[in-house]
Amino acid sequence: MKITKEKLIGLLALLDIRNKLGEEKKKRVLIILAIIAAVIAVAAIAIAVYRFFAPDYLEDFEDDFDDEFDDFFEDESEAEPAK
């Protein structure tokens, strides 16, 4: 098999076309990944801001419950000596 100059040039041209197509695919994938990363970053920032500004209702509920619970037992202990 004899490699001629024309065959070699054709082979190099074919490889160059494949490389360009591969680079375009890599660029496209990189752009898609960058968009996904940007969306995730915005979502993470939104969640952090929400958690920072959202009130903690459970903490208030526990404080109210403890106050009412303490008052209940204080009333019973004061009522027993009166008997």
For the chain, count helices (H), then strands (E).
2, 0
Taking only the tens place, the pLDDT of each residue in 26-68 is: 899 999 999 999 999 999 999 999 988 887 766 666 665 655 5
Residue 73: burial class (beta carbons within 10 Å; 0-12, 13-18, 19+): exposed
Give the pLDDT confidence score for residue 74 in this predicted structure.
59
Give the pLDDT confidence score for residue 35 in this predicted structure.
97
Residue among 25, 49, 47, 45 at smallest CA distance from 37: 45
- The structure's pTM equals 0.51
The tokens for 24 are 């375009």
How many domains does one find in the chain?
1
The tokens for 43 are 């979502």
Q: Which domain holds residue 34?
A: 5-79
Q: What is the sign of the dihedral through the CA atoms of 41, 47, 51 and 53?
A: positive
